[in-house]
Amino acid sequence: MSFLNLHMYGLTAPLVGAMLLYAAGRLGSRITLPIVFGSLSISLAASVLVFAEVLHVGPFSYTVGNWEPPYGIELVVDHLGALMILLISSVSLAAALSSSRSVAADLHERRRPFFTLYLILIAGLYGLALTGDAFNLYVLLEITSITTYGLIALGRGRAALSSFNYIVMGSIGACFYLLGIGYLYILTGTLNMADLHRIIPLLDGRGAALATAFAFLMVGLWIKMAFFPLHVWLPNAYTDMPDGAAVLIAPLMTKVTIFLMIRVMFSIFSPVYEFIQHMGVQQTIVGVAAVGIVCASAMALGQRDLRRMLAYIIIAEVGYMVGGLWLANAKGMTGAILHIVNDALMTLCLFLAAAAIAHRCGGMEFDRLQGLTRRMPLTMAAFIVGALSMIGVPPTCGFFSKWYLLLGGIEAGQWLYVGALIFSSLVNAVLFFRIIEIAFFPAAAAGDHGGGPQTVREAPQAMLQPLLVSAAALIGVGLATGPIVERVVRFALPVGF
């Protein structure tokens, strides 16, 4: 039965790595990277095995230290959780490869604290994907948030201010979530998700208190995931953080929070509670999601900096997923869950490309990108694949999740949402082809100032390889959509869908 412990190795490897890294002190600067890659590789290997296990045998749960629930801490490894840990560990390993180069260039002597926070963040995300306990979820959510604040603050320029903004907003979100959990604990006397799920339908006559708890939980998570209009902290935070942190945080943080929303909606509460007992809510949330998609896409149009533009696109994509989940049909939910994976991969690809460009060009303002297709052909090729996935061109994976989301939108008759998705695809096409055009045409005769792209070369191998792998993954995952839906996502839908 040692197989059942594998996920614990995956969870503790980065945590132990972080402790070793910090304990080694200044002596450890030479072993920093071996520790990082070693622990993340263990984590990835464990995730792959756990994922295979779940596919063959089915979901299982695990009690940490044999303390039985509802008092002990329970970890639940179901299809969705296994998919998430696989996603988290593979994305973080790819990101770490690229980070190792950009951190060496940007942060110099602060490399050790950077990677310490980095590993703790990954352990936190990994734990979030596995936990079966609502309060544990809060603790892990705060672990990831606090490490993120620290990583952002290591950035340049106004990073400290952006981080402070995020701390304020993030803490408000955490308060809401904690209050929600408090309400639930008072109502039910338990914090175990399975227990909550069992007891909540029995709570007759406590509708108002329960609804408050649910609303608090949702608002708390929405702030953390930057769901429009609670997104204002995100663009600055994501623009100012170090490149090495952005490649990890941008793909994973919002997506894992969406996953947490799924947990709250379907593992603590139930579809019956959200979609049948409170019918009007669903309409409103999908409507807000649609408005959010349109607004965030429009704001992305106004940006002149690559990473800032990507930050607004992430906000739009959050709208995709929240909207898809609240469509309340199997197709929409399939699309949303698929989009968690796909969006993580395409954000990874684009941010890796952005990091490589920043590494060579010294910045990501559009003017610096001129003539890049010639100077960094492989980086730009990967960037274009990522862009096509964002636009939704088959066979990249972005197309297929959008396909399911659109199908779900049509089935639910949510035409506003369908229109918003198509609008956002068109805006993405404009956004990315504007960049591709800038990169394709050589620098204008006037502009050879500031070092210029003349000296720019292809990105270093450590940044290029994960980038190319992620671009290939976009096409690979796209072509494998059928099996993924059939063997994983189908089991991740709540009972009755």
Partner 1 sequence: METSFWPLAAVLISLLGAIPIVLSDRRPNLREAWTVLIALGKFAIVASLLPSVLEGGGCRFTLAEVVPGVPIALRVDAMGMYFALVASFLWFCTSVYSIGYMRALNEHDQTRYFASFAVAISATLGVAFSENLLTLYLFYEMLSLSTYPLVTHKQDAEARSAGRKYLTYLLGSSVALTLPAMILIYTMTGTLDFTVGGILAGKADASTASILLVLLVFGFAKAAVMPLHGWLPAAMVAPTPVSSFLHGVAVVKVGVFSILRIVFFVFGTGLLADLNLGAVLTALASVTIIGASLVALTQDNLKRRLAYSTIGQLSYMILGAGMLTEAGMTGGLLHLSMHAFGKITLFLCAGAIYVAAHKSNISEMDGLGRRMPVTYAAFFLASLSIIGMPPLGGFLSKWSMVVGAIDGGRLVLVAVILVSSLLNAAYFFPIVYRGFFARDAEDGGEGGIREAPVLCLIPLGVSALFCLVLFLWPTLALQLIQRVVSP
- Three-state DSSP class for 192? strand
Q: Which residue has the tokens 């009755």?
A: 496
For residue 493, give both structure tokens. Answer: 């839908």
For residue 167, give both structure tokens. Answer: 């701390």
To the nearest whole angstrom, how small is the minimum distance from the Cβ of residue 409 to partner 1?
A: 9
To the nearest whole angstrom, how small is the minimum distance from the Cβ of residue 438 to partner 1?
A: 10
71 vs 441, beta carbon nearer partner 1: 441
Exposure string for 461-496, b = 16+ CB within 10 A, e = fewer: ebbbbbbbbbbebbbebbeebeebbeebbebbbbee
Task: Please report the DSSP string for 399-453 in residue order.
Answer: HHHHHHHHHHHHHHT-HHHHHHHHHHHHHHHHHHHHHHHHHHSPPPTT---TTTG
Close Cβ partners of 25 (under 8 Å, ≥ 6 residues apart)? none
> How many Å from the N-terminal Cα to the C-terminal Cα in the chain?
32
To the nearest whole angstrom, how small is the minimum distance from the Cβ of residue 461 to partner 1?
A: 19
To the nearest whole angstrom, how small is the minimum distance from the Cβ of residue 393 to partner 1?
A: 5
Q: With CB under 8 A as the contact rule, which of the stretches 185-193, 231-239, 420-428, 451-459 interacts with partner 1? A: 420-428
To the nearest whole angstrom, how small is the minimum distance from the Cβ of residue 108 to partner 1?
A: 38
Under the binding rule (CB under 8 A), the answer on residue 458 touching partner 1 is no
- Residues 4, 393, 458, 491: which binds partner 1 (CB under 8 A)? 393
Under the binding rule (CB under 8 A), the answer on residue 298 touching partner 1 is no
Q: Which residue has the tokens 């950009």?
A: 102
CA–CA gap between residue 429 and residue 290 (Å, rounded): 18
- Residues 70, 113, 271, 394: which binds partner 1 (CB under 8 A)? 394
To the nearest whole angstrom, how small is the minimum distance from the Cβ of residue 254 to partner 1?
A: 24
Under the binding rule (CB under 8 A), the answer on residue 482 touching partner 1 is yes
Per-residue string for binding with partner 1, 425-444, x by CB under 8 A?
xx--x---x---x--xxx--
Give, in order, the Cα–Cα distances in Å from 332 to each of 93, 326, 408, 412. Answer: 30, 8, 4, 9
To the nearest whole angstrom, how small is the minimum distance from the Cβ of residue 430 to partner 1?
A: 8
Using alpha carbons, select from 456, 446, 301 the residue that is nearest to residue 369: 456
Q: With CB under 8 A as the contact rule, which of the stretches 27-35, 104-112, 348-356, 417-425 interacts with partner 1? A: 417-425
- Residues 341, 354, 407, 412: which binds partner 1 (CB under 8 A)? 407
To the nearest whole angstrom, how small is the minimum distance from the Cβ of residue 401 to partner 1?
A: 11
Under the binding rule (CB under 8 A), the answer on residue 491 touching partner 1 is no
Sign of CA dihedral 128, 129, 135, 136: negative
- Residues 134, 159, 357, 406: which binds partner 1 (CB under 8 A)? 406
Q: Which residue has the tokens 């639930």?
A: 184
131 vs 425, beta carbon nearer partner 1: 425
CA–CA gap between residue 439 and residue 375 (Å, rounded): 9
Give, in order, the Cα–Cα distances in Å from 420 to each of 41, 156, 438. Answer: 40, 35, 27
To the nearest whole angstrom, how small is the minimum distance from the Cβ of residue 372 to partner 1?
A: 13
Q: With CB under 8 A as the contact rule, which of the stretches 204-212, 270-278, 319-327, 394-402 interacts with partner 1? A: 394-402
287 vs 395, beta carbon nearer partner 1: 395
DSSP state of 272: I
314 vs 443, beta carbon nearer partner 1: 443
Under the binding rule (CB under 8 A), the answer on residue 386 touching partner 1 is no
185 vs 433, beta carbon nearer partner 1: 433
Under the binding rule (CB under 8 A), the answer on residue 383 touching partner 1 is no
Under the binding rule (CB under 8 A), the answer on residue 478 touching partner 1 is yes
Q: With CB under 8 A as the contact rule, which of the stretches 10-18, 257-265, 340-348, 400-408 interacts with partner 1? A: 400-408
Q: With CB under 8 A as the contact rule, which of the stretches 113-121, 158-166, 461-469, 478-486 interacts with partner 1? A: 478-486
> 38, exposed or middle or buried, with CB in 10 Å at 0-12, 13-18, 19+?
middle
CA–CA gap between residue 256 and residue 247 (Å, rounded): 15
Under the binding rule (CB under 8 A), the answer on residue 415 touching partner 1 is no
To the nearest whole angstrom, how small is the minimum distance from the Cβ of residue 219 to partner 1?
A: 32
Per-residue string for binding with partner 1, 161-200, x by CB under 8 A?
----------------------------------------
For residue 393, give both structure tokens. Answer: 């061109």
To the nearest whole angstrom, how small is the minimum distance from the Cβ of residue 336 to partner 1?
A: 16
**Which H or E run contains 480?**
none
Under the binding rule (CB under 8 A), the answer on residue 472 touching partner 1 is no
Q: Where are the alpha helices (DSSP H) in 305-396?
A: 306-326, 330-361, 372-375, 377-391
Residues that bind partner 1 (CB under 8 A): 388, 391-395, 400, 403, 406-407, 410-411, 418, 422, 425-426, 429, 433, 437, 440-442, 478-483
